[in-house]
Amino acid sequence: MIDARDVTRRDTLLLGAGVLASAIARPALAQEAQGALERHGMSAFGDLKYPADFKHFDYVAPNAPKGGLFSQVGPTRLYNQNFLTFNSLNSFILRGDGAQGMELTFASLMAGAGDEPDSLYGLAARAVQISGDGLTYRFLLRPGLKFHDGSPLTAHDVAFSLQILKDKGHPIAQIQMRDLVGAQAIDDTTVVVTFAPNRARDVPLFAAGCPIFSRAYYATRPFDESTMEVPLGSGPYKVGRFETGRYIEYDRVKDWWGADLPVSRGLNNFDVVRYEFYRDREIAFEGFTAKSYLFREEFTSRVWATRYDFPAMREGRVKRDVIDDNTPSGAQGWFFNTRRDKFKDRRLREALNYAFDFEWTNKTIMYGSYDRTHSVFQNSPMMAVGKPSPEELALLEPFRGKVADEVFGEPFVPPVSDGSGQDRALLRKASALLQEAGYQIKNGKRLLPNGEPVTVEFLLDEPTFQPHHMPFIKNLGTLGIDANVRMVDPVQYKKREDDFDFDILVQRFSFSSTPGDSLRSYLSSQSATMKGAQNLAGIADPVIDALIEKIIAANDRPTLVTACKALDRVIRAGRYWVPHWYKASYWIAFWDVFGRPATKPRYARGIPETWWYDQAKAAKLEQRG
């Protein structure tokens, strides 16, 4: 099995429209947060685990040695980054295929704690002052901040960065910064950021985690163009060697100003972090067995079950492990492009749900490794279960008559098959739904109400996922639906994905334990027509929009959870996808040259950030190999 790959595979907080209202605030703006207590951190609901004088995060080894190499095929992507190739070092815009890892080269105002759902602590900012109404944030920068060329990093660079991301950044960033009104540098060390009334709860967190760009650097370069010129950064790493489309290395900045701060101590331990790019997963696996790279997160159950018996594994030179994933597993499945007329009827979408035999696929192709996905909030308390609670009903009742009646009962659960691969009872149910919706059979072909045949094209960019499609396609053929897989190269795939030029494709997304404004990019009417947004299904439902706003406005966690459950019921009733599968763990394999802390951060993988290169292990491995 392969996890469908998406920007939110592991790190949702890093993600997040409109035009920046004004870069200059009204005269009193700078004073609004002044006088408020200085805070060393911030979170969605104001709760922080670590005190102001904390020395390091609990999950790190603060004295971990620096040095060595970490190399991998990257498991996550951000914004325009591509898993299989790259042709741009600008990874914060829509254009181009960005190189994975470019975020390592930029600092931000604050940095996240991996053992808290959404807390941030000071990085470039030593503190923040927040106005009583929560609409003005005054960030106080540390002295001595520098870009990699030695030029000073000031509040003017921060204000520029927030404005340029909102105005010209990737659509995901634009959506998440919709409620950011303006950013003003009061002096070199103070930036005041203002937000709109009724702002999304997580917008200040998103802004505090945004990369800081050099205003002077972009004074002579367009921000919104794809380029292979190495940008000027200020983070713990800078771009080293690379070969377009094949690999890229990031070199640790030995005199980085943030290295000994509490949010950085014990992190960023490798001298070089390298990303390898393969267009074929089989070749990528062979590369790992040949030590072409040192760490691998495995996403293919067949490979995990049958292929880790190569000599280095048997000899103990390669280790593997299963580590817990305590984050929401989210949604993975085949998503319908409802912008296309043939997918607008909910009954057609539901019928296709009955044609997918998960039980057979899991048993035959995936070695029984997975559980069925039901919810966009899978593996979290935000997932709807059973009938709505009184609190959920209070949110849903105003929409009675505007949503399916099932929203007020048990949430939709994908059908359980007999495991035969072609469950006749489920296929009969699918056929009955299609007949009811006016999709008749003629000469063995299923026809749209207008008389045209129903055809389905599944879009893929690499072959490993094909075996999961073929039994599904066979069952669709039984229903009279002509379906096929279209394989395209990674660049074309991303272009078609961004332009919503597909029938059905696999998407995986997950939200943080405190979802907020990021929901808009995946589920809102606004994002349904915004190229590059994550709303691949084209969901445009005023009820969903309203419930997203309820989630964003929640002022405590119980209210948030209730609103998420209500939203989950409405989305599941819409049948926007054929749900896949999930597992609440990571499969990892690595050449035995690493050290790691005793515990991982609860809400993150922690790799490679908390690991380090163990010289003694590496020497021993060389002697054995």
pLDDT tens for each residue of 172-230: 899 899 999 999 999 999 999 999 998 888 899 999 999 999 999 999 999 999 999 99
Asked if residue 353 and residue 308 are part of one domain, the reply reads no
Asked if residue 313 and residue 393 are part of one domain, the reply reads no
What predicted TM-score, i.e. pTM, was given to this entire model?
A: 0.85
Whether 206 contacts 119, CB under 8 Å: no
Amino acid in the structure at residue 186: I
Question: In this structure, are strands 69-72 and 272-276 parallel, antiparallel, or unpaired?
Answer: parallel
Q: How many domains does the chain have?
A: 3
What CATH number is associated with residue 405? Answer: 3.10.105.10
Say whether 122 sits in a helix, a strand or coil: strand
What CATH number is associated with residue 183? Answer: 3.40.190.10
Asked if residue 297 and residue 278 are part of one domain, the reply reads yes
Asked if residue 262 and residue 183 are part of one domain, the reply reads no
Transcribe 414-465 into DSSP letters: PPP--SSSS-HHHHHHHHHHHHHTT--EETTEEB-TTSPBPEEEEEESSGGG
Transcribe 70-113 into DSSP letters: EEE------TTB-SS---BS--SSSSS-BPTTGGGG---SEEE-
Question: Would you give the end-to-end CA distance of the chain in angstroms?
Answer: 31
Q: Residue 225's CB: how many other CB atoms inside 10 A?
A: 13
Asked if residue 313 and residue 349 are part of one domain, the reply reads no
pLDDT of res. 32:
58
In a domain, 230, yes or no: no
Mean pLDDT score, 26-47: 73
pLDDT digits (tens, 9 = 90+) for 113-130: 999 999 999 999 999 999
pLDDT of res. 416:
96
Per-residue pLDDT for 41 more than 50? yes
Nearest alpha-carbon partner for 181 in 201, 202, 203: 203
In a domain, 89, yes or no: no
The domain in which residue 261 lies consists of: 237-327+584-624
Q: What's phi and psi for 614, nearest 5 deg? A: -100, 105
CA distances from residue 118 to 55, 58, 376, 391 in whole angstroms, order as listed = 19, 16, 19, 24
Asked if residue 187 and residue 323 are part of one domain, the reply reads no
pLDDT digits (tens, 9 = 90+) for 140-165: 999 999 999 999 999 999 999 999 99
Amino acid in the structure at residue 610: T
Say whether 283 sits in a helix, a strand or coil: helix
pLDDT of res. 623:
80
Nearest alpha-carbon partner for 378 in 582, 114, 118, 601: 582
pLDDT digits (tens, 9 = 90+) for 394-421: 999 999 999 999 999 999 999 999 999 9
Asked if residue 411 and residue 368 are part of one domain, the reply reads yes
